[in-house]
Homo-oligomer: A and B are copies of this chain.
Amino acid sequence: MNLAKIEAAAARLAGAARATPLLEAPLLSARAGKRVLVKAECLQVTGSFKFRGAWAAVSALPAETRGVLAYSSGNHGQGVALAAARHGLPCVVVMPSDAPEVKAANTRAFGAEVVLYDRQHEDRDAIGARLCAERGLALIKPFDDAEVIAGQGSVGLEIAAQARALGVEQGEVLVCCGGGGLSAGIALALEAHAPGLRLRTVEPAGFDDMARSLAAGERLRNAQGTGSVCDAILTPSPGELTFPVLQRLAGAGIAVSDDQALEAMALAFTHLRIVLEPGGAVALAAALKAETHDPVICVASGGNVDPGLFRDVVARFG
Protein backbone atom coordinates (compact mmCIF):
# COMPACT_ATOMS: atom_id res chain seq x y z
CA MET A 1 0.00 0.00 0.00
CA ASN A 2 1.31 3.40 -0.93
CA LEU A 3 0.15 6.83 -1.99
CA ALA A 4 0.74 6.23 -5.69
CA LYS A 5 -1.79 3.39 -5.63
CA ILE A 6 -4.38 5.69 -4.02
CA GLU A 7 -3.78 8.42 -6.56
CA ALA A 8 -4.05 5.90 -9.42
CA ALA A 9 -7.35 4.64 -7.98
CA ALA A 10 -8.63 8.21 -7.62
CA ALA A 11 -7.83 8.83 -11.29
CA ARG A 12 -9.84 5.74 -12.32
CA LEU A 13 -12.72 6.88 -10.08
CA ALA A 14 -13.02 10.30 -11.76
CA GLY A 15 -16.34 10.43 -13.60
CA ALA A 16 -17.56 7.20 -11.93
CA ALA A 17 -17.68 8.08 -8.24
CA ARG A 18 -18.83 11.41 -6.80
CA ALA A 19 -16.63 13.88 -4.93
CA THR A 20 -18.88 14.19 -1.86
CA PRO A 21 -19.36 17.48 0.01
CA LEU A 22 -17.86 18.31 3.40
CA LEU A 23 -20.94 19.63 5.22
CA GLU A 24 -21.17 21.88 8.26
CA ALA A 25 -24.12 23.29 10.20
CA PRO A 26 -23.88 26.08 12.77
CA LEU A 27 -26.47 24.50 15.07
CA LEU A 28 -24.77 21.08 14.94
CA SER A 29 -21.41 22.61 15.88
CA ALA A 30 -23.13 24.54 18.67
CA ARG A 31 -24.62 21.29 19.97
CA ALA A 32 -21.21 19.57 19.86
CA GLY A 33 -19.38 22.51 21.42
CA LYS A 34 -16.80 22.37 18.63
CA ARG A 35 -16.55 22.82 14.89
CA VAL A 36 -17.93 19.64 13.26
CA LEU A 37 -17.36 18.91 9.57
CA VAL A 38 -19.14 15.93 8.00
CA LYS A 39 -17.86 14.14 4.90
CA ALA A 40 -21.17 12.97 3.42
CA GLU A 41 -20.32 9.62 1.82
CA CYS A 42 -23.99 8.67 2.16
CA LEU A 43 -24.33 10.82 -0.99
CA GLN A 44 -21.88 8.56 -2.84
CA VAL A 45 -23.16 6.44 -5.73
CA THR A 46 -25.01 3.39 -4.21
CA GLY A 47 -25.27 5.28 -0.90
CA SER A 48 -21.91 4.51 0.69
CA PHE A 49 -18.14 4.87 0.28
CA LYS A 50 -17.99 1.19 -0.68
CA PHE A 51 -18.56 2.06 -4.35
CA ARG A 52 -15.10 3.66 -4.44
CA GLY A 53 -13.22 0.55 -3.37
CA ALA A 54 -15.42 -1.68 -5.52
CA TRP A 55 -14.79 0.44 -8.61
CA ALA A 56 -11.06 0.60 -7.90
CA ALA A 57 -10.85 -3.19 -7.58
CA VAL A 58 -13.10 -4.09 -10.54
CA SER A 59 -11.38 -1.58 -12.83
CA ALA A 60 -8.00 -3.18 -11.95
CA LEU A 61 -9.05 -6.74 -12.94
CA PRO A 62 -7.38 -8.41 -15.94
CA ALA A 63 -9.31 -8.22 -19.20
CA GLU A 64 -10.06 -11.96 -19.25
CA THR A 65 -12.09 -11.82 -16.00
CA ARG A 66 -15.42 -13.69 -16.42
CA GLY A 67 -17.26 -12.15 -13.48
CA VAL A 68 -16.93 -11.11 -9.85
CA LEU A 69 -18.16 -12.21 -6.43
CA ALA A 70 -18.47 -10.31 -3.18
CA TYR A 71 -19.54 -11.36 0.31
CA SER A 72 -21.00 -8.42 2.14
CA SER A 73 -23.51 -7.22 4.72
CA GLY A 74 -24.86 -4.96 2.00
CA ASN A 75 -23.02 -1.76 1.10
CA HIS A 76 -19.96 -3.51 -0.33
CA GLY A 77 -22.24 -5.80 -2.28
CA GLN A 78 -24.16 -2.86 -3.78
CA GLY A 79 -20.93 -1.13 -4.69
CA VAL A 80 -19.50 -4.22 -6.38
CA ALA A 81 -22.80 -4.97 -8.13
CA LEU A 82 -22.96 -1.54 -9.78
CA ALA A 83 -19.23 -1.41 -10.54
CA ALA A 84 -19.46 -4.86 -12.19
CA ALA A 85 -22.57 -3.92 -14.18
CA ARG A 86 -20.89 -0.78 -15.52
CA HIS A 87 -17.89 -2.90 -16.55
CA GLY A 88 -20.19 -5.43 -18.28
CA LEU A 89 -19.33 -8.23 -15.83
CA PRO A 90 -21.72 -10.70 -14.12
CA CYS A 91 -21.77 -10.40 -10.33
CA VAL A 92 -22.74 -12.69 -7.42
CA VAL A 93 -23.21 -11.21 -3.93
CA VAL A 94 -23.18 -13.53 -0.90
CA MET A 95 -25.13 -11.82 1.88
CA PRO A 96 -26.23 -12.73 5.42
CA SER A 97 -29.92 -13.55 5.58
CA ASP A 98 -30.45 -11.01 8.43
CA ALA A 99 -29.19 -7.97 6.47
CA PRO A 100 -31.78 -5.21 5.92
CA GLU A 101 -34.09 -6.13 3.04
CA VAL A 102 -33.47 -2.77 1.34
CA LYS A 103 -29.83 -3.78 0.82
CA ALA A 104 -30.63 -7.13 -0.81
CA ALA A 105 -33.31 -5.51 -2.99
CA ASN A 106 -30.97 -2.75 -4.15
CA THR A 107 -28.18 -5.23 -4.87
CA ARG A 108 -30.53 -7.21 -7.10
CA ALA A 109 -31.74 -3.98 -8.74
CA PHE A 110 -28.12 -3.24 -9.70
CA GLY A 111 -28.15 -6.50 -11.65
CA ALA A 112 -26.41 -8.88 -9.26
CA GLU A 113 -27.44 -12.38 -8.20
CA VAL A 114 -27.88 -12.48 -4.38
CA VAL A 115 -27.01 -15.68 -2.49
CA LEU A 116 -28.19 -15.59 1.16
CA TYR A 117 -26.49 -17.47 4.01
CA ASP A 118 -27.05 -17.97 7.74
CA ARG A 119 -24.58 -15.78 9.64
CA GLN A 120 -24.70 -18.08 12.72
CA HIS A 121 -24.25 -21.49 11.08
CA GLU A 122 -22.60 -21.06 7.68
CA ASP A 123 -19.15 -19.88 6.57
CA ARG A 124 -19.41 -17.13 3.98
CA ASP A 125 -15.80 -17.59 2.89
CA ALA A 126 -16.43 -21.26 2.06
CA ILE A 127 -19.59 -20.39 0.11
CA GLY A 128 -17.78 -17.68 -1.82
CA ALA A 129 -14.77 -19.88 -2.59
CA ARG A 130 -17.02 -22.63 -3.94
CA LEU A 131 -18.92 -20.26 -6.24
CA CYS A 132 -15.70 -18.65 -7.47
CA ALA A 133 -14.25 -22.06 -8.32
CA GLU A 134 -17.43 -23.31 -10.01
CA ARG A 135 -18.01 -20.20 -12.13
CA GLY A 136 -14.53 -18.75 -12.56
CA LEU A 137 -15.36 -15.54 -10.68
CA ALA A 138 -12.86 -13.08 -9.17
CA LEU A 139 -13.40 -12.43 -5.46
CA ILE A 140 -13.63 -8.73 -4.51
CA LYS A 141 -12.80 -8.63 -0.79
CA PRO A 142 -14.58 -6.03 1.34
CA PHE A 143 -11.49 -4.46 2.94
CA ASP A 144 -8.34 -6.59 3.01
CA ASP A 145 -7.29 -5.86 -0.57
CA ALA A 146 -4.80 -3.28 -1.78
CA GLU A 147 -7.00 -1.97 -4.62
CA VAL A 148 -10.04 -1.67 -2.34
CA ILE A 149 -8.03 0.22 0.28
CA ALA A 150 -6.65 2.47 -2.49
CA GLY A 151 -10.17 3.28 -3.70
CA GLN A 152 -11.37 4.16 -0.19
CA GLY A 153 -8.25 6.30 0.17
CA SER A 154 -9.70 8.68 -2.40
CA VAL A 155 -12.00 9.89 0.42
CA GLY A 156 -8.84 10.98 2.25
CA LEU A 157 -7.52 12.88 -0.76
CA GLU A 158 -10.81 14.81 -0.90
CA ILE A 159 -10.85 15.48 2.84
CA ALA A 160 -7.30 16.84 2.72
CA ALA A 161 -8.19 19.29 -0.08
CA GLN A 162 -11.56 20.29 1.40
CA ALA A 163 -10.17 20.84 4.89
CA ARG A 164 -7.35 22.98 3.54
CA ALA A 165 -9.86 25.09 1.59
CA LEU A 166 -11.66 25.75 4.90
CA GLY A 167 -8.42 26.60 6.69
CA VAL A 168 -8.53 23.42 8.81
CA GLU A 169 -4.92 22.17 9.05
CA GLN A 170 -4.97 20.60 12.54
CA GLY A 171 -7.66 18.31 13.92
CA GLU A 172 -9.04 14.80 14.11
CA VAL A 173 -10.65 12.74 11.37
CA LEU A 174 -13.09 10.20 12.79
CA VAL A 175 -13.92 7.21 10.59
CA CYS A 176 -16.59 4.53 10.96
CA CYS A 177 -14.57 1.31 11.11
CA GLY A 178 -15.37 -2.31 10.24
CA GLY A 179 -12.35 -4.16 8.88
CA GLY A 180 -10.45 -0.91 8.45
CA GLY A 181 -10.28 -0.48 4.67
CA LEU A 182 -11.75 3.03 4.69
CA SER A 183 -9.70 4.01 7.73
CA ALA A 184 -6.42 2.69 6.31
CA GLY A 185 -6.94 4.33 2.93
CA ILE A 186 -7.82 7.70 4.49
CA ALA A 187 -4.89 7.49 6.93
CA LEU A 188 -2.41 6.99 4.09
CA ALA A 189 -3.86 9.90 2.10
CA LEU A 190 -3.79 12.21 5.13
CA GLU A 191 -0.21 11.23 5.97
CA ALA A 192 0.88 12.63 2.61
CA HIS A 193 -1.52 15.54 2.09
CA ALA A 194 -2.73 16.68 5.53
CA PRO A 195 -0.20 15.59 8.15
CA GLY A 196 -1.86 17.77 10.81
CA LEU A 197 -5.09 15.74 10.61
CA ARG A 198 -4.99 12.64 12.86
CA LEU A 199 -7.26 9.70 12.11
CA ARG A 200 -9.18 7.82 14.82
CA THR A 201 -11.36 4.79 14.19
CA VAL A 202 -14.90 4.61 15.61
CA GLU A 203 -16.75 1.34 16.27
CA PRO A 204 -19.86 0.13 18.10
CA ALA A 205 -19.30 -0.76 21.78
CA GLY A 206 -18.77 -4.52 22.07
CA PHE A 207 -17.46 -4.67 18.50
CA ASP A 208 -14.38 -2.48 18.99
CA ASP A 209 -11.86 -5.02 17.78
CA MET A 210 -9.83 -2.31 16.03
CA ALA A 211 -9.64 -0.04 19.10
CA ARG A 212 -8.60 -2.96 21.35
CA SER A 213 -6.14 -4.26 18.75
CA LEU A 214 -4.52 -0.83 18.40
CA ALA A 215 -4.19 -0.62 22.20
CA ALA A 216 -2.81 -4.17 22.49
CA GLY A 217 -0.48 -3.98 19.50
CA GLU A 218 -1.90 -7.17 17.99
CA ARG A 219 -5.01 -8.18 16.07
CA LEU A 220 -7.78 -9.23 18.49
CA ARG A 221 -11.23 -10.67 17.73
CA ASN A 222 -14.67 -9.59 18.91
CA ALA A 223 -16.36 -11.94 21.40
CA GLN A 224 -19.58 -11.99 19.33
CA GLY A 225 -20.67 -11.68 15.70
CA THR A 226 -24.07 -10.00 16.07
CA GLY A 227 -25.85 -7.82 18.61
CA SER A 228 -25.46 -4.20 17.46
CA VAL A 229 -27.80 -2.19 15.23
CA CYS A 230 -24.68 -1.02 13.33
CA ASP A 231 -24.80 -4.06 11.02
CA ALA A 232 -22.64 -2.51 8.28
CA ILE A 233 -19.49 -2.42 10.40
CA LEU A 234 -19.61 -5.67 12.42
CA THR A 235 -16.42 -7.48 11.37
CA PRO A 236 -14.69 -10.14 13.50
CA SER A 237 -11.21 -8.59 13.55
CA PRO A 238 -8.96 -6.01 11.86
CA GLY A 239 -7.63 -6.88 8.39
CA GLU A 240 -4.15 -8.22 7.78
CA LEU A 241 -3.36 -5.34 5.41
CA THR A 242 -5.28 -2.61 7.21
CA PHE A 243 -4.04 -3.16 10.76
CA PRO A 244 -0.33 -2.37 10.22
CA VAL A 245 -1.28 0.87 8.44
CA LEU A 246 -3.51 1.97 11.30
CA GLN A 247 -1.03 0.81 13.94
CA ARG A 248 1.45 3.23 12.39
CA LEU A 249 -0.90 6.15 11.66
CA ALA A 250 -4.08 6.10 13.80
CA GLY A 251 -4.75 7.59 17.23
CA ALA A 252 -6.66 5.75 19.95
CA GLY A 253 -9.85 4.10 18.72
CA ILE A 254 -13.27 5.15 20.03
CA ALA A 255 -16.38 3.07 20.81
CA VAL A 256 -19.94 4.45 20.91
CA SER A 257 -23.20 2.89 22.07
CA ASP A 258 -26.01 1.98 19.70
CA ASP A 259 -28.12 4.78 21.19
CA GLN A 260 -25.36 7.31 20.53
CA ALA A 261 -25.25 6.16 16.89
CA LEU A 262 -29.03 6.47 16.58
CA GLU A 263 -29.05 9.95 18.10
CA ALA A 264 -26.35 10.99 15.62
CA MET A 265 -28.62 9.80 12.80
CA ALA A 266 -31.35 12.12 14.11
CA LEU A 267 -28.96 15.07 14.34
CA ALA A 268 -27.81 14.47 10.75
CA PHE A 269 -31.47 14.40 9.68
CA THR A 270 -32.28 17.66 11.47
CA HIS A 271 -29.16 19.74 10.91
CA LEU A 272 -27.57 18.37 7.73
CA ARG A 273 -30.64 16.97 5.91
CA ILE A 274 -28.83 13.74 5.10
CA VAL A 275 -29.91 10.15 5.73
CA LEU A 276 -27.48 7.90 7.61
CA GLU A 277 -27.60 4.26 8.61
CA PRO A 278 -26.43 3.38 12.15
CA GLY A 279 -23.01 2.08 11.08
CA GLY A 280 -22.54 5.24 9.01
CA ALA A 281 -23.32 7.48 11.99
CA VAL A 282 -20.86 6.23 14.62
CA ALA A 283 -18.16 8.75 13.63
CA LEU A 284 -20.61 11.64 14.01
CA ALA A 285 -21.66 10.18 17.36
CA ALA A 286 -18.01 10.21 18.46
CA ALA A 287 -17.62 13.82 17.28
CA LEU A 288 -20.21 14.81 19.88
CA LYS A 289 -18.10 13.33 22.70
CA ALA A 290 -15.97 15.65 24.80
CA GLU A 291 -12.84 13.55 24.25
CA THR A 292 -12.60 14.39 20.53
CA HIS A 293 -10.71 17.35 19.09
CA ASP A 294 -11.96 20.80 17.98
CA PRO A 295 -12.21 20.99 14.98
CA VAL A 296 -13.30 17.47 14.11
CA ILE A 297 -14.00 15.95 10.71
CA CYS A 298 -16.18 12.84 10.68
CA VAL A 299 -16.92 10.55 7.79
CA ALA A 300 -20.63 9.73 7.42
CA SER A 301 -19.94 6.53 5.57
CA GLY A 302 -23.34 5.22 4.45
CA GLY A 303 -27.09 5.88 4.24
CA ASN A 304 -28.76 2.60 3.28
CA VAL A 305 -31.09 2.42 6.24
CA ASP A 306 -34.20 0.36 6.86
CA PRO A 307 -37.19 2.78 6.63
CA GLY A 308 -38.82 1.42 9.79
CA LEU A 309 -35.65 1.90 11.80
CA PHE A 310 -35.30 5.45 10.47
CA ARG A 311 -38.87 6.28 11.52
CA ASP A 312 -38.15 4.96 15.02
CA VAL A 313 -34.99 7.08 15.24
CA VAL A 314 -36.83 10.26 14.21
CA ALA A 315 -39.59 9.48 16.71
CA ARG A 316 -37.14 8.91 19.58
CA PHE A 317 -34.56 11.62 18.92
CA GLY A 318 -35.90 13.89 16.10
The minimal Cβ–Cβ distance linking A275 to chain B, given in whole angstroms, is 4
Q: Is the CB of B273 within 8 A of A42?
A: yes
A residues 231-279 with Cβ under 8 Å of B?
269-270, 272-276
Contact of A269 among B20, B23, B40, B275 (CB under 8 A): B275
CB-defined interface of A288-307 with B at 8 Å, one 1/0 digit per residue? Answer: 00000000000000011001
Report the separation of the CA atoms of residues A82 and B25 in the bound assembly, to the nearest whole angstrom. 11
A residues 36-51 with Cβ under 8 Å of B?
40, 42-43, 45, 47
- Secondary structure call for the A interface: helix
Contact of A303 among B30, B43, B102, B273 (CB under 8 A): B273
Interface residues on A, range: 20 to 34
Q: Which of A115-123, A137-145, A310-318 contacts B (4 or more CB under 8 A)?
A: A310-318
Q: Is the CB of B303 within 8 A of A307?
A: no
Q: Given A106-B27, A273-B275, verify A314-B303 contact (CB < 8 Å).
A: no
Residues of B within 8 A of A272 (CB): 43
Residues of B within 8 A of A275 (CB): 269, 273-275
Interface residues, chain A, with chain B CB atoms under 8 Å away: 18, 20-21, 23, 25-27, 30, 40, 42-43, 45, 47, 82, 102, 106, 109-110, 269-270, 272-276, 303-304, 307, 310-311, 314-315, 318
